[in-house]
């Protein structure tokens, strides 16, 4: 679906060694399916063979998106759900929930502005997930991820259904961008490139570990600094290029669909599935941290600590520099959640 290797892996997980089709199939809900990211993501998820049912939810009509996607001759069935009165039905029987619902980022908007716009939305959606599909994997795309994931964790915890293995901040876009920029810079086959990106999902909290790039490649000090800054500011690059017409949609949808596919493959029993995600973690003194994780049938199976070992001096300085800002973002989300009344 995304490249030859990924597509081959997806198809292989649908068949037994004898070539018989496996029965694993899953239901995915996209909350915010009528938005710029949501529409593109809905198409990409519709193309994943492991998806049997695709629930599209939006606060406004999503009928056109659902009907249009329904004409695509892939196996998954598409259902539309509109408004808060249908949110519970949209979430029943769901294996993976993808939260894209949010206010769009405009030129000049800070992540704090985004938090003010999106914190209430995330609270109500997290409560609905807790009430209707508490065992589902939850993928949060809405920004600021650094604050909204901790916020959602607190909501789920107060509802008594929090499982840290199943709550993900989707930071895959940072890895996708890092892989793209490095492959272009070094003229590498992009399918082979993997750049670990750790920390958070905004500005200096995004820390690409270029020294650990696979395949191994040498960078000058200037290249490291320039690539690091470009990866950290890539979202701004898109916002400015769109001149007020929105933020990253296609690349974010692509990255989110990759994460959905990886999660479904892991749920289906496929082994050795790794992605990068912002999760509750003990890798650092911070409660939440983005790093490489191994996915399994219950979500996060293993947090890979090796990426934080043997850092260069530049990377170590970057790690220490990001901690105060990331800590502030985490605390902001937790503080908001603790002030909200718990719905029954």
Residue with token string 């916002």: 239
Q: DSSP class of residue 281? A: -
d(CA 174, CA 276): 9
Phi, psi dihedrals of residue 74, rounded to the nearest 5°: -110, 160
Q: Which of 55, 95, 139, 201 is the catalytic position?
A: 201
d(CA 75, CA 158): 38
Q: 99-109: buried (b, 16+ CB within 10 Å) or exposed (e) per residue?
A: bbbbebbeeeb
Q: 23-42: buried (b, 16+ CB within 10 Å) or exposed (e) per residue?
A: ebbbbbbbbbbbbbbbbbbb
Q: Residue 140 is encoded by which pair of tokens?
A: 């949060």
Q: 309-326: buried (b, 16+ CB within 10 Å) or exposed (e) per residue?
A: eebeebbeebbeebbebb
Is 201 among the residues known to form the active site?
yes
Catalytic residues: 201
């Amino acid at each position: 679906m995304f490249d030859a290797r990924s597509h081959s892996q997806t198809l292989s997980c649908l068949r037994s060694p004898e070539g018989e089709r496996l029965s694993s199939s899953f239901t995915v809900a996209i909350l915010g399916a009528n938005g710029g990211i949501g529409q593109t993501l809905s198409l990409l998820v519709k193309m994943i063979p492991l998806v049997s049912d695709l629930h599209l939810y939006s606060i406004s009509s999503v009928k056109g998106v659902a009907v249009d996607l329904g004409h695509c001759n892939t196996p998954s069935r598409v259902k539309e759900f509109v408004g808060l009165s249908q949110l519970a039905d949209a979430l029943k029987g769901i294996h993976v929930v993808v939260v894209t619902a949010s206010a769009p980022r405009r030129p000049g908007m800070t992540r704090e502005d985004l938090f003010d716009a999106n914190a209430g939305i995330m609270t109500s959606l997290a409560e609905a997930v807790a009430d209707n599909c508490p065992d589902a994997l939850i993928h949060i795309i809405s920004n600021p991820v650094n604050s909204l994931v901790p916020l959602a964790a607190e909501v789920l915890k107060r509802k008594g259904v929090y499982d840290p293995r199943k709550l993900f901040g989707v930071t895959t876009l940072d890895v996708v961008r890092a892989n793209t920029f490095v492959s272009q810079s070094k003229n590498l086959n992009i399918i082979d490139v993997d750049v670990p990106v750790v920390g958070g999902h905004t500005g200096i909290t995004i820390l690409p570990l270029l020294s650990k790039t696979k395949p191994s490649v040498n960078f000058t000090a200037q290249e490291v600094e320039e690539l690091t800054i470009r990866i950290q500011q890539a979202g701004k690059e898109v916002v400015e290029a769109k001149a007020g017409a929105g933020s990253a949609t296609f690349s974010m949808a692509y990255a989110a669909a990759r994460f959905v596919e990886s999660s479904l493959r892991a749920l289906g029993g496929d082994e050795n599935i790794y992605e990068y995600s912002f999760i509750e973690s003990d890798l650092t003194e911070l409660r939440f941290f983005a790093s490489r994780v191994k996915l399994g049938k219950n979500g996060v199976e293993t947090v890979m600590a090796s990426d934080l070992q043997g850092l260069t001096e530049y990377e170590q300085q970057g790690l220490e520099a990001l901690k105060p800002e990331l800590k502030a973002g985490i605390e902001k989300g937790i503080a908001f959640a603790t002030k909200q009344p718990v719905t029954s």
